[in-house]
Structure 1
Amino acid sequence: MTTTQGIEDDLGWRLGVLFRAFVRAADAATAGIPGDHRGRQVLAVAAREEPRTQAALAQRLGIDKTVLTYLLDALTEAGLVERHPDPDDRRNRRVVTTARGREFLAEADVRMELAEDHVLSSLGDSDRATLRALLGRLAAGLHAADPVDDPCRLMTDIGERA
């Protein structure tokens, strides 16, 4: 980036604007679920992926284990998930979505689709598909590499590329 470009050309500014718009729309769409859109993500992983331990959920979603514990406490209190001993290792707990949790998730999915349509409303269908595909590839690559897991390594990598 050169210094003559406006802020609109800054990737961080663009991502920030998009992120803030998404969070506002997603939180409105998931109101009533403890943790709002993050709570919905926990419900989605618990309902749609293999039985997950709390540690696996935290890693999959990129949530601090302590934060996830509070979120799971609230989801459990709301009757949306249950924690069961892991039959493979009783020291671990598996997170299981309840029938009520699956109902909440189905309703939230419909509202999230509308929220995403709102955020992406300035794009046509083809551009939306392209954006989703590109973001999916970027997210998968970054999640697999998890460069932020080690900030020192990240800064070293950035310094080597400069």
Structure 2
Amino acid sequence: MTSLAPARTAGTAERTAPDLSYLLDHTSHVLRTKMAAALAEVGMTARMHCVLVKALEEERTQIQIAELGDMDKTTMVVTVDALEKAGLAERRPSAGDRRARVIAVTDAGAEMAERTQAIVDRVHAEAIGSLPEEMRPVLLAALELLTTGHLATPEESPAGARRARQA
């Protein structure tokens, strides 16, 4: 004689750990919305800011900046097109390899990058500042450990994992 386990009803799954996925995804999403709203005040997006900052650091191709900013090719092209139209950046031949095209930031683009960096820093400071002072370094250290350690590299999955929403 076999015993049948009692039927489970909806909502009876027992959580054994905090929902880290929700906590990280929700806070990341809300932070992106706050960042998008703040940057929109000066007519910029987080992607535009990223391109300007990465292009100012050193001579980089569009592909290199796209990889650093985790952008697909189409998104990168549209972003650079918008920066060119605004007079903030332009595509130029590389000084080291005339066949390669790099993203060069104009003087107006460098000024905008300074403005947007101040906005980004303010939004981040407001988020961290909402925590009790003694918790701030602990959170940042823990996130740094996760992003450079256990959660540094995405897992390959046959079903794939949906990327977090991008700002």
Determine if the TM-score, normalized by the shorter chain, exceeds 0.5.
yes
* Residues 39 and 12 (structure 1), Cα distance of their counterparts in 2 relative to 1, 3 Å cut: same
* Residues 91 and 33 (structure 1), Cα distance of their counterparts in 2 relative to 1, 3 Å cut: farther
Counterpart residue type for residue 29 of structure 2:
R
Please identify the structure whose Cα radius of gyration is greater.
Answer: 2
Map of 1:56 onto structure 2? 64
- Give the gaps of 5 or more residues in structure 1: 156-162
Map of 1:42 onto structure 2? 51
* Partner SS, residue 131 of structure 2: coil
* Residues 60 and 142 (structure 1), Cα distance of their counterparts in 2 relative to 1, 3 Å cut: farther
2:41 matches 1:17: no
- TM-score, normalization by structure 2: 0.74
Which residues of 2 match residues 92-103 of structure 1 at below 5 A?
Answer: 92-103=100-111
Identity %: 30
Instruction: Report deviation, 1:37.
Output: 1.2
- TM-score, normalization by structure 1: 0.76
2:141 matches 1:133: yes
8 Å Cα contact 2:51-2:65 kept in structure 1: yes
Residues 88-115 of structure 1, C-alpha deviation per residue, up to 9 Å, x if partnerless? 3333211111111111111112222221
2: CA distance between counterparts of 1:52 and 1:64? 16
RMSD (Å) for aligned C-alpha atoms: 2.9
- Give the gaps of 5 or more residues in structure 2: 1-12, 162-167
1: CA distance between counterparts of 2:104 and 2:74? 19
8 Å Cα contact 1:81-1:98 kept in structure 2: yes
Map of 1:4 onto structure 2? 14
Residues 12-54 of structure 1, C-alpha deviation per residue, up to 9 Å, x if partnerless? 11012211221121112211344x112111111111x221001
Map of 1:87 onto structure 2? 95
* Partner SS, residue 84 of structure 1: strand
RCO greater where, 1 or 2, for CA within 8 Å and sep 6 or more? 2
8 Å Cα contact 1:30-1:37 kept in structure 2: yes
2: CA distance between counterparts of 1:23 and 1:94? 27
1: CA distance between counterparts of 2:106 and 2:90? 7
More helix by share: 1
More strand by share: 1
